[in-house]
């Protein structure tokens, strides 16, 4: 799966993305509400998994690189996986490197990703989960017309602490 927006190319991940992916996965600022900081070995393992052909199996990640169209610089990633394939429900995730935050890239990439998923895959509902304190993430979901559907208590364990999470969803019209 590959598609473009006015400023971005969203394309399959490759092993050549390792250093850039490791940089944002190991950054305390961009990992604060997503996961513990990643080691190079963990980033390599994750990227290797993400480079495998996507078969659309339940819980198998479709990970795509977000790159700047002029330079092909990797600035982040988007992810989709079916969490209930029988019901055609999938989950998305996203992250950007810290230098790309606040420039509208997340909205551009994720809204195009959702549109692409609804038009190209059999999916009726897309959900996303973020830490309650991750205000930029849940504001982005609301800007994309996703609806807050609930709160998960102690949903994440990151950095040695338990974090509550908001659940958002959007259905194909």
Residue 33 has pLDDT above 80, yes or no: no
User: How would you class 2 by CB atoms within 10 Å of its CB: exposed for 0-12, middle for 13-18, buried for 19 or more?
Assistant: exposed
| pTM score | 0.92
pLDDT digits (tens, 9 = 90+) for 53-99: 999 999 999 999 999 998 888 999 999 999 999 999 999 999 999 99
Best CA proximity match to 44, nearest among 13, 85, 79, 84: 13
Query: Which strands make up the sheet holding 62-68, listed edge to edge?
Result: 3-4, 8-12, 62-68, 74-84, 89-96, 125-131, 161-171, 147-158
Residue 28 has pLDDT above 80, yes or no: no
Which domains does the chain carry?
3-123 (3.40.630.30)
């Amino acid at each position: 799966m590959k598609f473009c927006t006015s400023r971005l190319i969203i394309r399959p991940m490759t092993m050549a993305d390792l250093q850039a992916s490791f940089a944002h996965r190991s950054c305390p600022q961009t990992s604060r509400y997503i996961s513990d900081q990643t080691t190079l070995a963990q980033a390599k393992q994750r990227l290797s998994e993400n480079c495998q052909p996507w078969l659309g199996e339940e819980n198998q990640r479709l990970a795509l690189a977000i790159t700047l169209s002029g330079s092909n610089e990797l600035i982040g990633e988007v992810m989709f996986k079916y969490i209930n394939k029988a019901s055609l429900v999938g989950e998305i995730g996203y992250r950007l490197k810290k230098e790309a935050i606040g420039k509208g890239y997340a909205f551009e990439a994720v809204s195009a990703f959702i549109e692409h998923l609804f038009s190209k895959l059999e999916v009726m509902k897309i959900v996303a989960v973020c830490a309650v304190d991750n205000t930029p993430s849940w504001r982005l979901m609301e800007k994309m017309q996703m609806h807050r559907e609930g709160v998960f208590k102690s949903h994440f364990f990151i950095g040695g602490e338990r974090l509550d999470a908001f659940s958002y969803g959007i259905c194909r019209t």
